[in-house]
Amino acid sequence: MSKELVMYSRRGFCPFVNIAKRVLDQYDVTYREIFIDVDDAARDRVLEWTGFLSVPTFVVAQPGEMLPYREPLPLSEGVSPRGRNRDTMITEPNADELIDWLAQHKFIMANSVSKD
């Protein structure tokens, strides 16, 4: 199955979005960005998935879709989504967490990963 990386983001400054974009650029990863401050349905989706308006929230989707291709692992109530690998979703990852998650889903090759 072909997969697409979708990043839920916002237009204003966010340090987690900046970190994510730096990693994506470093590894030349193609992604589609959806802005939760423009798209009310996307904002509601992120709120439902994470309990917060947490960006970036990444999902692995079928090409052209906006939802994860399979249901992400659940979050326990009241638990922060930050950096949690939920299989087809990760929210506010640091650089290492994002690199590992991208390799897991074969958006980057595991042997090309350098965490220097």
Any idea what the CATH number is for the domain that residue 42 is in? Answer: 3.40.30.10
Q: Does 113 have pLDDT greater than 90?
A: no
> What pLDDT, in 10s, does the model give residues 48-106?
999 999 999 999 999 999 999 999 999 988 899 999 999 999 999 999 999 999 999 99
How far is Cα of residue 58 from the mean position of the Cα atoms in its chain?
A: 1
> What pLDDT, in 10s, does the model give residues 14-48?
999 999 999 999 999 999 999 999 999 999 999 99
Q: Are 42 and 65 in contact (CB under 8 A)?
A: no
- Name the domain count of the chain: 1
The model's pTM = 0.93
Q: Are 102 and 108 in contact (CB under 8 A)?
A: yes
Domain that holds residue 70: 4-112
**Cα pseudo-dihedral 44, 47, 48, 51, rounded to 10:** -160
pLDDT band at 110 (very low <50, low <70, confident <90, very high): confident
Q: Does 112 have pLDDT greater than 80?
A: no
- pLDDT on residue 54: 96
Measured between alpha carbons, how far is 75 from 17 in angstroms, rounded to an integer?
21
